[in-house]
Amino acid sequence: MTADLLLGVDVGGTGAKYVVADLAGAVRAEGDVPTDPASPETTLGRVARATGPVLDGGRLHGVGLACAGIVNPLTGWLGRSPNLPGWEDSNLFAAVDAVFGNVRRALANDVNGALYGEFRAGAGRGCADLVMIALGTGVGGGVLLGGELLVGTHFGAGEIGHMVMDPHGPVCTCGGRGCLEAYAGSVGLLRAAREAAAGDAGPGLRDLVAARGVALTTRDLARLAVAGDEDAAGIFTLAGRRLGQAVGNLINVLDPDRILIGGGVAQAGDLIFEPCRRTARAIVLAAEAKDTPILPAELGPLAAAVGAALLVTGEASGE
Ligand SMILES: [Zn+2]
């Protein structure tokens, strides 16, 4: 008996992570290939070669792609994409067709892909209304309402990372000031740590920042905080409060079932979740919504690839 299989690819600037999954999202195989910065077809050709032996055992039901940037999930068009400038303004469904032939296809931006994966096979299972915030180098966001991803009139919905928390706050990568990303992305957290080390922080944080230099990570900071360093813990508390400010506002606007927090910075766990929950609770108006669960995402680094694969089964793409 041959099984129907899905292929999901999360395309980053340097590498493309892929999964081969069944129709329920259970991963049969995973891996990654280098991204060709100039050619979606070449990149997908590498994925096709890498997954050939697995796909030979089943029927390829469809291919889902996740990319950072502005995407039109209906037509397959990729617009502005900071990680993939050489792919901008191209049609990725055409690339899928060229490499895989006549299969169903889906496209989402990377955070929406991850959110959809969590909805179907992770921490948001069974919830039709979800918000996801991904705390990585920057901060990404996605919104799912009634089981459908919210893409917006100009395909720009879900930019939770650029909600302005303080118009006089630190400069953000987008050119604005005081965006959530400037506080809760790893770049923002590490900047806050270096500023504290240059200011009035104690020897624990000062020594860590000096020893690690440009290699300093949020994981280093979390380890120091867990070991009892109050300055390091304070950096996460401030980021968690800003996150909670955003989350509380989002709960007031959307009243979702759950808020999911993913990405590498979320590995800091309670250091960031606890102040986030406390701040959000104080902002939420409806008594019944004050305990809206704010939970870690479950699928980890494969979330966007799994979600992109599952999107193939959830949308009327590739007639
Ligand atoms: Zn910004």
In 10 A of CB 154, how many CB atoms? 9
pLDDT at 58: 80
| 292 and 307 both lie in a single domain | no
Please tell me the distance between residue 34's alpha carbon and the centre of ligand 1 in angstroms. Answer: 29
Please tell me the distance between residue 174's alpha carbon and the centre of ligand 1 in angstroms. Answer: 4
pLDDT at 23: 92
Please tell me the distance between residue 45's alpha carbon and the centre of ligand 1 in angstroms. Answer: 35
Please tell me the distance between residue 140's alpha carbon and the centre of ligand 1 in angstroms. Answer: 10
Instruction: Classify residue 17: in a domain, yes or no.
Output: yes
In one-letter notation, the amino acid at residue 30 is E
Please tell me the distance between residue 311's alpha carbon and the centre of ligand 1 in angstroms. Answer: 28
Say which CATH number the domain at 206 has. 3.30.420.40
Instruction: Classify residue 161: in a domain, yes or no.
Output: yes
pLDDT at 316: 43
Please tell me the distance between residue 221's alpha carbon and the centre of ligand 1 in angstroms. Answer: 23
| 167 and 272 both lie in a single domain | yes
317, pLDDT greater than 70: no
Q: Alpha-carbon distance 133 to 313, whole Å? A: 24
| 101 and 157 both lie in a single domain | no
Instruction: Classify residue 50: in a domain, yes or no.
Output: yes
Distance between terminal CA atoms of the chain? 25
Please tell me the distance between residue 78's alpha carbon and the centre of ligand 1 in angstroms. Answer: 21
Average pLDDT value for residue range 13-39: 95
Please tell me the distance between residue 172's alpha carbon and the centre of ligand 1 in angstroms. Answer: 5
Average pLDDT value for residue range 138-147: 96
Kindly report, residue by residue over 241-279, the tens digit of the pLDDT: 999 999 999 999 999 999 999 999 999 999 999 999 999
Q: What percent of the chain has pLDDT over 90?
A: 92
Please tell me the distance between residue 63's alpha carbon and the centre of ligand 1 in angstroms. Answer: 32
User: CB of 249 within 8 A of CB of 283?
Assistant: yes
pLDDT at 3: 76
Please tell me the distance between residue 36's alpha carbon and the centre of ligand 1 in angstroms. Answer: 28
| 140 and 286 both lie in a single domain | yes
Please tell me the distance between residue 47's alpha carbon and the centre of ligand 1 in angstroms. Answer: 33
Kindly report, residue by residue over 56-109, the tens digit of the pLDDT: 878 899 999 999 999 999 999 999 998 899 999 999 999 999 999 989 999 999
Average pLDDT value for residue range 166-190: 96
Please tell me the distance between residue 180's alpha carbon and the centre of ligand 1 in angstroms. Answer: 7
Average pLDDT value for residue range 162-179: 96
Average pLDDT, the chain: 95
Q: Alpha-carbon distance 67 to 311, whole Å? A: 14
| 101 and 172 both lie in a single domain | no
Instruction: Classify residue 136: in a domain, yes or no.
Output: yes
Please tell me the distance between residue 285's alpha carbon and the centre of ligand 1 in angstroms. Answer: 26
| 148 and 280 both lie in a single domain | yes
Q: Alpha-carbon distance 205 to 172, whole Å? A: 24
Average pLDDT value for residue range 193-210: 96
| 35 and 17 both lie in a single domain | yes
| 92 and 142 both lie in a single domain | no
| 237 and 261 both lie in a single domain | yes
Please tell me the distance between residue 37's alpha carbon and the centre of ligand 1 in angstroms. Answer: 25
Three-point CA angle 249, 144, 273, nearest 5°: 50
pLDDT at 314: 80
170, pLDDT greater than 60: yes
Instruction: Classify residue 79: in a domain, yes or no.
Output: yes
pLDDT at 56: 83
Please tell me the distance between residue 16's alpha carbon and the centre of ligand 1 in angstroms. Answer: 26
Please tell me the distance between residue 139's alpha carbon and the centre of ligand 1 in angstroms. Answer: 9
Average pLDDT value for residue range 13-32: 95
Number of domains in the chain: 2
Please tell me the distance between residue 71's alpha carbon and the centre of ligand 1 in angstroms. Answer: 19
Average pLDDT value for residue range 18-28: 94
Instruction: Classify residue 319: in a domain, yes or no.
Output: no
pLDDT at 2: 64
| 307 and 236 both lie in a single domain | no
1, pLDDT greater than 60: no
Q: Alpha-carbon distance 233 to 72, whole Å? A: 40
Instruction: Classify residue 90: in a domain, yes or no.
Output: yes
44, pLDDT greater than 90: yes
Instruction: Classify residue 246: in a domain, yes or no.
Output: yes
Write out the DSSP string of the chain: -PEEEEEEEEE-SSEEEEEEE-TT--EEEEEEEE--TT-HHHHHHHHHHHHHHHHTTEEEEEEEEEESS-EETTTTEE---TT-GGGTTEEHHHHHHHHH-S-EEEEEEHHHHHHHHHHHHSTTTT-SSEEEEEESSSEEEEEEETTEE---TTS-TT-GGG-BS-TTSPBPTTS-BSBHHHHHSHHHHHHHHHHHHHTT--HHHHHHHHHHGGG--HHHHHHHHHTT-HHHHHHHHHHHHHHHHHHHHHHHHH--SEEEEESGGGGGTHHHHHHHHHHHHHH--SGGGTT--EEE-SSGGGHHHHHHHHHHHHS----
Please tell me the distance between residue 170's alpha carbon and the centre of ligand 1 in angstroms. Answer: 10
167, pLDDT greater than 60: yes
Per-residue confidence band for 319, with pLDDT thresholds at 50, 70 and 90: very low
Domain that holds residue 97: 3-119+301-314
| 111 and 198 both lie in a single domain | no
